[in-house]
Amino acid sequence: MGPANLLFIIVAVSAQLLSEAWLNFTEYPTANLSTSWTNNESSFTGPHVLQTLFYDGSAVRSLVLSSPQPILGPYFGAGFFCASPCNVFLFAIYIFHIRSDTKPHMVWSANRARPVREGATIELTIDGNLVLRDADGSLVWSSGSSERSVAGMVITEDCNLVLFDRRNGTVWQSFDHPSDVLLPGQSLLEGTRLVANTAATNWTENQVYMTVLPRGTNGYTGLYGYVGSTPSQLYYAFSAWVSENDTGNGPTKVTFLNSSLSLLVQTRQPSNPRMHNISLPAAKSTQYVRLESDGHLRLYEWSEDLLKCILRSDVTMLRELNDDCEFPTVCGEYGICTAGQCTCPFQDNSSSINYFKPVHLRKANLGCAPLNSISCQEMQHHKLLTLTDVSYFDTHHTIENATNVDSCKQACLKNCSCRAVIFRYHLNDSQSAI
């Protein structure tokens, strides 16, 4: 039997899976008040396909489910989500296909910092609050929408989870509380953040975030990417000059649209807002942009052929940044990036003692750990090691009056929160010290 026959058999089996699944399948986008769901298998079997298991070991148990294109997909669900081995769960929104040979793409979560276990509950209470409790009954998260005339919950065809009132007005929506993803039509408003996950399977928030500022450090209006430390360090800016007269008439925001990421500033004439775009590939299907742990903002799109979301474009690489080494977390903590390769400081210097070791021998991008810990009590024993020919992404935290290499070093050594200092003469990054 040749390869052509083999291929035919596989296609036939997939088609059968699809038809069996959809015969029993209906959407159930809304839920009423006084409904409660327990995160266990027996609660998620019913007339609908409530629990979906995937080949990679992940699973979703959907409270509500909708689709802009039923059967073809994708489907949008809100419910319990877990990744293999499925011992902890998130209350999440995800894009998926009901076929088990696919995998779900999580686009929002209520409890990244505190996953729940089997037996956890979600309740849409009689007074309109959506409440997540762990198996032991402890409160993990709530929408805070009690006593606000909520009439029910819906997952819309835009993949937005909405608590609506009797007049069909929005009381609470997941679009107002982005985690690491923006969906079409969703905005990142000034004052809110996208915060990356630590890794694809580790949902702990990492240090990288993006936010919208009406006036950034440079006085411009825009979308800024930072590494959260004290103080936060800037690595990405998509910004524009907006005059004083044109701001303050509404929140500045960045909206993800078909073909663009648009920075919108409300002006005095509401009909004439200022708009600045990052052009993106036009949407053929459902898209989303995700801020990832390496600091990149990437655009994904649902593929109707592959039944999964695939990478369409790297938004951060389109502008400003064009080298992987310009992303702050590309080589982890203390790592040095050279032409896309990660090393630890002084790793190549065979003659000297080592001060750093790689966190993982074969995964250089996980960064380096100092061999001796640094403590403020022992500041008198600190010294700075010199690295030459390096540059650093954030140059906004200058030490005033340090006009030569020595005064620059001294200023850093005297300040316990200073771990590294770079000396820059005009625009020439000549030497830096750690």
Ligand X SMILES: *[C@@H]1O[C@H](CO)[C@@H](O)[C@H](O)[C@H]1NC(C)=O
Q: Whole-number minimum distance, CB 283 to ligand X, in Å?
A: 4
Task: Closer to ligand X by CB, 36 or 218: give it.
Answer: 36
Residues 95/286, Cβ–Cβ less than 8 Å:
yes
Task: Closer to ligand X by CB, 7 or 375: give it.
Answer: 375
Binding residues (CB under 6 A) for ligand X: these are 20-21, 24, 30-32, 38, 40, 42-43, 168, 198, 202, 204, 231, 243, 245, 257-260, 262, 275, 277, 282-283, 349, 351-352, 397, 400-401, 415, 417-418, 428, 430
Alpha-carbon gap, residue 252 to 220, rounded angstroms: 12
Task: Closer to ligand X by CB, 7 or 45: give it.
Answer: 45
Per the DSSP assignment, residues forming a β-bridge with 106 are 94
Q: Whole-number minimum distance, CB 74 to ligand X, in Å?
A: 12
Task: Closer to ligand X by CB, 4 or 244: give it.
Answer: 244
Q: Whole-number minimum distance, CB 387 to ligand X, in Å?
A: 8
Q: Whole-number minimum distance, CB 386 to ligand X, in Å?
A: 8
Task: Closer to ligand X by CB, 110 or 242: give it.
Answer: 242
Alpha-carbon gap, residue 400 to 394, rounded angstroms: 16
Task: Closer to ligand X by CB, 3 or 85: give it.
Answer: 85
Task: Closer to ligand X by CB, 41 or 323: give it.
Answer: 41
Q: Whole-number minimum distance, CB 42 to ligand X, in Å?
A: 4
Q: Whole-number minimum distance, CB 24 to ligand X, in Å?
A: 4
Alpha-carbon gap, residue 209 to 230, rounded angstroms: 14
Q: Whole-number minimum distance, CB 348 to ligand X, in Å?
A: 7
Q: Whole-number minimum distance, CB 4 to ligand X, in Å?
A: 29
Task: Closer to ligand X by CB, 277 or 338: give it.
Answer: 277
Alpha-carbon gap, residue 316 to 298, rounded angstroms: 7
User: If you search the block for the tokens 């007339």, which residue do you land on?
Assistant: 47
